[in-house]
Amino acid sequence: MICYDPFWNTLNKKGMSTYDLIYKQGFSSNTVHRLKHNLAITTKTLNDLCFVLCCSVEDIIVYRIDEEDNKRK
């Protein structure tokens, strides 16, 4: 499962808030909602986040094995 835990740490380290992303950088509130709930985002959005935060992909997303999914396979 992909989750965005590193994103929140990176956002904090850069001294930015979700307000900054929405009102100063032009991201939609839906994008922030999707990040909060570990829902899918586009690679363009991922690229834009990396650009705005001056960071790498690993600073935004991480893949964690979901034990529930493993049991079903």
Give the start-to-end residue ranges of the domains of the chain.
Answer: 2-72
pLDDT value, residue 71: 62
pLDDT value, residue 72: 61
Instruction: Name which residue leads in pLDDT, 72 or 37.
Output: 37
* DSSP character at residue 27: -
CATH topology of domain 2-72: 434 Repressor (Amino-terminal Domain) (1.10.260)
Which residues, 6+ apart, have CB-to-CB distance to 59 below 8 Å? 6, 7, 9, 10, 50, 53
Mean pLDDT of the chain: 93
Tokens of 10: 């990176």
pLDDT value, residue 21: 97
In this prediction, residues 18-27 reach a mean pLDDT of 97
